[in-house]
Amino acid sequence: MRKKVSLFLFLSGALLAILPLSGNRSFSRKPDELLRQVTGPGLSFSVDEVARFIVSEDSSLRLIDLREPGEFMKANIPGSVNVPYREFIAGDPDIYLNDKKTRVILYGNDDYYSNFALVYTRGLGYNNTFAMDGGMNEWYRTITEARFTGSRISARENALFEVRARAARLFNEINALPDSLKAERMKSAGFSAKKLDGGCE
């Protein structure tokens, strides 16, 4: 817990120091309030929880991949859209987070950028943002590389393994598509070009 608090203290301080916050975009929470929130429970989902959301086709959430486009095109979690971290931080957060009924799950290769983005969005007052624990590295370890090696398995373990296997199958199918089809899927799943340019729909 102490390590987690120290991490978020560092992130909060770093964000306050480097982000281009202005009168139109400033933290709505005091530092101590923000710290209490971001170090509390319920601000992240495990890769197993995300896998379950994907398998059940949960429409109440959106996954945002904060990695660079090349990394995203190489492999990404089904249903996610790519908004590189620097673009996410520099842009208008309302473009991505304005639907308060939608839970937005942020992820990168690990926890680094997703934690920065989480502190940033929570500081701005967006309570619908969460991080995926461990990022893509943990997704690979837990979901796509999941193997059952025991001789007996409980009902709970079997259910968990089934979800992992189905999520891994979807992941592999999506990422086996030709780049042209991946690009088309990205375009259809992404945010409105007019909104990204600052216009109205």
Cβ atoms 108, 75 nearer than 8 A: no
Report pTM. 0.79
Position 162 in a domain: yes
Structural domain containing residue 83 = 42-196
Position 17 in a domain: no
| Per-residue pLDDT tens over the stretch 59-94 | 999 999 999 999 999 999 999 999 999 999 888 888
Six-digit token string for 201: 């729909």
CB hemisphere CA count around 141 (13 angstroms): 10
Position 144 in a domain: yes
Percent of the chain's residues with pLDDT above 70: 69
Position 23 in a domain: no
Six-digit token string for 195: 């909104």
Q: How many domains does the chain have?
A: 1
* Average pLDDT of span 187-191: 63
Position 29 in a domain: no
Position 129 in a domain: yes
Cβ-count burial of 24 within 10 angstroms (0-12 exposed, 13-18 middle, 19+ buried)?
exposed
How do beta strands 44-45 and 129-132 pair? parallel
In angstroms, rounded to a whole number, what is the distance separating the alpha carbons of residues 52 and 33? 32
Position 151 in a domain: yes
Residue listed under structure tokens 């101590």: 32
Position 5 in a domain: no
* CATH number, domain containing residue 174: 3.40.250.10
Q: Is 62 left (phi over 0), alpha (psi -120 to 50) or beta?
A: beta
User: What DSSP assignment string belongs to 90-107?
Assistant: HS-THHHH--TTSEEEEE
